[in-house]
Amino acid sequence: MNNQRAKNIIASSDMITVTYNGTPVYLEAVNDNNNTAKIHYLDHPENKQEVPLDNLVEH
């Protein structure tokens, strides 16, 4: 996923399905400096991570 698409998903009022390693996640923020996104898993919101945008898949 590219930076701009991730930002569009974050700004959207629609629920857009995104997965990280096959698991549904919620995008919180994009870090332009290192091409990553801050995410949390939908089923475990307390489990936050910063992951490469390239590993996120929109469905």
pLDDT at 15: 92
User: Distances in Å between the alpha carbon of 40 and those of 25, 53?
Assistant: 6, 14
CA distance 49 to 21: 13
pLDDT at 33: 96
- Residue-wise pLDDT for 2-26, tens only, equals 999 999 999 999 999 999 999 999 9
Q: Does domain 3-58 have CATH number 2.30.30?
A: yes
End-to-end CA distance of the chain: 11
Strands (E), 1-59: 18-20, 23-31, 36-41, 44-52, 56-58
- Residue-wise pLDDT for 15-54, tens only, equals 999 999 999 999 999 999 999 999 999 999 999 999 999 9
